[in-house]
């Protein structure tokens, strides 16, 4: 039985392994105002704006997914809030809520969140993921190669004040932030925010050696367990991501672990990613993709062509990714940056 509200006459998005896609991550730009050391290189060449899908095209793509049973859309990038007039798209997508779409959300670095918090709430967004890797202004500036921590903290305050729920995402970096993580967990939980730790993934050349950044999360969890009591939680959210949650007895908050390297999470994968140029990537860890932009721009009947492209993509969704942190100095597992695919 298919999950989600599928428009009559349309088929749910079920792949060859029986997994139904109910979750779309939609990248609205490859640009960003930061240059996090694990995500981008210092000097980035961004796509010419003409190659990007327009906001109306992004809306059409998202609608095509919702018509086929997608219940959750996450806007991402690059930094979604740097896309000009992104509020227009968010308003449009907000209209899909209640018509198949259960949740509209975004992942942001929060530098511009203060300006958008009320608008997001009005459009029907209720939860936002904020990526934050340090609470120390100098360390934050170093990890992001340019960021101003106070803007992010203002963004978080504004969002909480507007009534948005926030989850903090932190990439664990062996030499750059691991010692700060316990304090960050306490800080997040004291503000009623869940927190998720992420293993650094070998995506795109950043000019840094990933082996120097990578710390396996089970190792970090062992350290946290010397300080706190962690109790396994089962997810309450049927379209939740791959993170495993624990409850921290002493803080009362939830802590998630995303472990693509130490613990492959592909068996329950319910998502696909669409880039800002209209490519569907069926798996973050593989390079196969299907082009939606030509379906939108060149087909006699774009709606039929979009559906055919979605079928083709689903058929090609691989069983699992094959990430591996390779030897020191070797090329990344995939040349594509996370900011290109949409994290
Ligand atoms: N700019 C937004 C942000 O930072 O939240 C959205 C896009 S960013 C690519 C989405 C998420 O991907 C962030 O939480 C970021 O920390 C994570 N990320 C980027 N590169 C990564 C990598 N190589 N390994 C693990 N996580 C990564
Ligand atoms: Fe920008 Fe997000 Fe990548 Fe950092 S992780 S460089 S904020 S896209």
Share of the chain above pLDDT 70, in %: 88
Ligand nearest to the CA of 106: 1
Query: For 194-241, how does the pLDDT look when each residue is reduced to its tens digit (9 = 90+)?
Result: 999 999 987 777 777 777 888 999 999 999 999 999 999 976 565 556
Q: Are strands 279-281 and 271-274 parallel, antiparallel or unpaired?
A: antiparallel
pLDDT of residue 321: 64
pLDDT of residue 168: 98
- CB of 32 shorter than 6 A to ligand 2: yes
Pick the residue whose CA is nearest to atom 19 on ligand 1: 39
Confidence (pTM): 0.93
Cα dihedral 35, 166, 154, 112 sign: positive
Those residues with Cβ within 8 angstroms of residue 142's Cβ, 6 or more apart along the chain or in another chain: 37, 176
Those residues with Cβ within 8 angstroms of residue 297's Cβ, 6 or more apart along the chain or in another chain: none
Beta bridge partners of 75: 26, 106
CB 70 within 8 A of CB 100: yes
- CB of 24 shorter than 6 A to ligand 1: no
Q: What is the Cα–Cα distance from 336 to 328, expressed in whole angstroms?
A: 19
Those residues with Cβ within 8 angstroms of residue 264's Cβ, 6 or more apart along the chain or in another chain: 320, 321
- CB of 78 shorter than 6 A to ligand 2: yes
Task: Give 23-341's CATH code, choosing from 3.20.20.70, 3.30.460.10, 1.10.3720.10, 3.40.1410.10.
Answer: 3.20.20.70
Beta bridge partners of 291: 279
Instruction: Supply 184's token pair.
Output: 């960050």
What are the structural domain ranges in the chain?
A: 23-341
pLDDT of residue 1: 46
pLDDT of residue 319: 78
Share of the chain above pLDDT 90, in %: 71
- CB of 147 shorter than 6 A to ligand 1: no
CB 319 within 8 A of CB 283: no
Q: Which of 343, 306, 315, 342 is nearest to 68 (CA)?
A: 306
CB 58 within 8 A of CB 304: no
């Amino acid at each position: 039985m298919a999950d989600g509200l599928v428009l009559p006459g349309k088929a749910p998005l079920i792949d060859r392994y029986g997994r139904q896609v109910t979750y779309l991550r939609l990248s609205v730009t490859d640009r960003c105002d930061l240059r996090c050391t694990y995500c981008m290189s210092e000097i980035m060449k961004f796509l010419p704006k003409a190659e990007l899908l327009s906001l109306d095209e992004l809306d059409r793509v998202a609608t095509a997914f919702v018509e086929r049973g997608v219940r959750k859309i996450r806007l991402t990038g690059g930094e979604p809030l740097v896309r000009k007039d992104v509020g227009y798209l968010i308003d449009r997508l907000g209209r899909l809520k209640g018509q198949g779409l259960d949740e509209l959300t975004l992942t942001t670095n929060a530098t511009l969140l203060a300006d958008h918090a009320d608008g997001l709430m009005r459009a029907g967004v209720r939860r936002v993921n904020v990526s934050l890797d340090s609470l120390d202004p100098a360390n934050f500036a170093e990890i992001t190669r340019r960021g101003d921590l106070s803007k992010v903290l203002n963004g978080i305050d504004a969002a909480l004040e507007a009534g948005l729920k926030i989850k903090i995402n932190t990439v664990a970096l062996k030499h750059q932030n691991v010692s700060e993580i316990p304090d960050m967990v306490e800080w997040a939980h004291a503000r009623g925010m869940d927190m998720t730790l992420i293993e650094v993934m070998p995506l795109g050349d950043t000019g840094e050696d990933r082996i120097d950044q990578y710390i396996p999360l089970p190792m970090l969890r062992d350290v946290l367990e010397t300080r706190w009591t962690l109790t396994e939680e089962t997810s309450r959210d049927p379209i939740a991501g791959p993170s495993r949650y624990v409850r921290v007895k002493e803080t009362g908050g939830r802590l998630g672990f995303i472990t693509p390297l130490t613990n492959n999470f592909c068996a329950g994968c319910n998502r696909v990613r669409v880039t800002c140029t209209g490519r569907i990537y069926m798996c973050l860890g593989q390079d196969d993709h299907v082009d939606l932009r030509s379906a939108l721009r060149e087909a006699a009947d774009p709606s039929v062509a979009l559906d055919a492209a979605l079928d083709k993509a689903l058929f090609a969704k691989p069983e699992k990714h094959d990430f591996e942190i390779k030897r020191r100095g070797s090329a990344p597992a995939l040349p594509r940056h996370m900011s290109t695919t949409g994290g």
